[in-house]
Amino acid sequence: MDALSGSGELRGSWTSLVAVLLVLSTSFSASLMPILSMTQGASEPSVVYEWSSASSMILPRASPVALILTSGDILVIGGISTNGPTATTEIFDSEALVWKPGPTMNSARVGHTATLLDDGTVLVTGGESGKGTVASAEIIDVVRGGALPVGSMYFARSGHAASPLPDGRVLISGGTDWTSGTWYQAEAYNPSTHSFEPAGSMQHTRMLFTMHLLASGDVLAVGGDIVGTSEMFDPATGVWADAVPMGCGRYEFAAAELEDGRIVVAGGMDDGVVMSSAEIYDPTSNSWTSAGDMTQPRMRFSLTGLSDGKLIAAGSSSSGGSTDTTEMFCVKNMVWTASADMIKDRGAHGAVMMTDGSVCVIGGRSGEVPLSSVEILVETQVEPPVTEPCRPIDLVPLVLSVASELRGHSENGLIAKLIVAQYALDAGDIVLCLETMDDFYNQLHGLFMSGHLSDGGITLLYTGYASVVECLGGTPLPEIP
């Protein structure tokens, strides 16, 4: 039944409900018990994610390339600064948490690639210099403090992709020079000769796409065309072959590799439309399946792994502006859930998972303005108190604690149901109270499945719901997965 129809006093406006809530909160404040524990003892700690400011870079940078060095420090390369593409690099000391200048490249670059080599140096290829697309490549040696030019690629490339190969070479493919077209041709950098060699031709031209080294040693190229194709490169034969296509075309999307070898791609643009859809590739079955929809469309954003196996999608930059919103992808149930907002709106930024499991987002742009600011997503373990709630009104603080996830449009209904249930309990109508608590559960279920509650949030509220129902002698509905 509709819980709100069971109490005549609560048929007024939400303003009336707020007033009732204030009265109830006052009358119950002396006896409100600590929240969330089972009778057998404290429940498992929950994880709270928060963004904190880190020291800013020396230069503002949009579209930089960021990667983790073997030392655990972060190297940030090139990008667009205040006066256009820059040749500078910076290093974030992961212990001192400060930035220092890195080696200056021989060419300014944006739209380039950077790949960590087996010897700890970094190969940088192509990009836009401010004077056109370049074919040049160079090795950045952070230890020795220099940038050494190496042989040029066969093609000037921007918006291309790079992937390490099992034999130590680096595969380069796709991209464009913005005048001659988009490239089929691929090439590989050989570190033993410091030169490039042909690596066959792709089946499709691609730009603004991704490549992924699979456990098999093959390389999967994904998207960057109008129909969502993917294809595989066999390093042993040097041959490219079509693979199973995605469900749609994608440019400027984000991709991340899961611990089990699967690959998640999300967002991007298709036919001028920014998308929220996501897909997941399984190498064992050579298949793409839906990975649900993000809570909002995103392009030029980051998708980064977390230490618990989840993914965090952060920011976005498009003609509609930039955003500070983030969301998490839970692999277990294929659900995207709104997460804590960043301190600054940004897109076209760099992002890495640091050696301690924290995620660092770097620079980017706010609107059209390059940023120097840096933020780190920190996981905090929160130990729950040791007493369980036994009345519907005891759950109000829990609902308010996850209100930021609900973004202001769902907590009112949840609190209203708790008020109705509390009135029924005070009137001695246990049946109506339990029915209303089940209505509360059903709304929780809907919010979780639609991505408006995180795993931590749903665990918090379901545990409180179950505790109240059990205290009232009822049987809780099944745990929400």
Per the prediction, the chain carries an average pLDDT of 88
Residues 6+ apart with CB under 8 A from 446: none
pLDDT digits (tens, 9 = 90+) for 91-122: 999 989 999 999 999 999 999 999 999 999 99
Pair of tokens at residue 2: 């509709």
Residue 354 has pLDDT above 60, yes or no: yes
Distance between CA atoms of residues 335 and 81, nearest Å: 36
Pair of tokens at residue 451: 């991505």
CB 85 within 8 A of CB 104: no
Q: How confident is the model at residue 155 (pLDDT cuts 50, 70, 90)?
A: very high
Residue 1 has pLDDT above 80, yes or no: no
Residue 429 has pLDDT above 50, yes or no: yes
Q: How confident is the model at residue 406 (pLDDT cuts 50, 70, 90)?
A: confident
**Average of pLDDT values for 260-269?**
96
Distance between CA atoms of residues 193 and 292, nearest Å: 45
The CA-based angle 168-171-159, given to 5 degrees, is 140
Distance between CA atoms of residues 220 and 234, nearest Å: 9
Distance between CA atoms of residues 20 and 351, nearest Å: 46
Residues 6+ apart with CB under 8 A from 261: 214, 215, 283, 284
- CA distances to 16, 65, 161, 255, 347 from 351, rounded to whole Å, are 46, 9, 17, 12, 11
Distance between CA atoms of residues 175 and 196, nearest Å: 16
SS3 368: coil
Pair of tokens at residue 80: 């667009």
Residue 261 has pLDDT above 80, yes or no: yes
Pair of tokens at residue 281: 């590739």
- CA distances to 66, 69, 109, 296, 468 from 119, rounded to whole Å, are 18, 11, 23, 40, 59
**DSSP-assigned beta bridge partners for residue 371:** none
**DSSP-assigned beta bridge partners for residue 318:** 321
Structural domain spans, the chain:
3-45+386-471, 46-63+261-281+291-382, 69-152, 161-245
Pair of tokens at residue 324: 């500070």
CB 281 within 8 A of CB 261: no
Is 46-63+261-281+291-382 assigned to CATH 3.40.50.740? no
Distance between CA atoms of residues 45 and 205, nearest Å: 49
**Average of pLDDT values for 199-206?**
96
Closest CA to 221 of 236, 209, 235: 209
Give the pLDDT confidence score for residue 455 in this predicted structure. 80
Pair of tokens at residue 238: 């040097």
> 106-115, 220-229, 338-347, 450-459: which has the minimum mean pLDDT?
450-459
Q: Which DSSP string do the residues of 105-126 spell out, in sequence order? A: PSS-BBS-EEEE-TTS-EEEE-
- Tokens 């995620």, located at residue: 359
Element (H, E) at 378: strand 374-382
123 or 9: which leads in pLDDT: 123
Distance between CA atoms of residues 17 and 399, nearest Å: 15
Closest CA to 126 of 82, 93, 170, 167: 170
pTM of the model: 0.75
Distance between CA atoms of residues 333 and 22, nearest Å: 37
- Tokens 């199973």, located at residue: 244
DSSP state letter for 332: T
Q: How confident is the model at residue 165 (pLDDT cuts 50, 70, 90)?
A: very high
Residues 6+ apart with CB under 8 A from 22: none
Give the pLDDT confidence score for residue 383 in this predicted structure. 61
Rg from Cα positions in the chain:
26
Q: How confident is the model at residue 29 (pLDDT cuts 50, 70, 90)?
A: very low
DSSP state letter for 178: S
CB 313 within 8 A of CB 326: yes
> 16-20, 60-64, 165-169, 251-255: which has the minimum mean pLDDT?
16-20
Give the pLDDT confidence score for residue 387 in this predicted structure. 56
pLDDT digits (tens, 9 = 90+) for 300-314: 999 999 988 899 999
Distance between CA atoms of residues 450 and 327, nearest Å: 13
CB 220 within 8 A of CB 236: no
Residue 163 has pLDDT above 80, yes or no: yes
CB 4 within 8 A of CB 416: yes
Pair of tokens at residue 113: 């690639």
Phi, psi of 456 (to 5 degrees): -65, -40
* Burial label, 450 (beta-carbon count in 10 A; 0-12, 13-18, 19+): middle
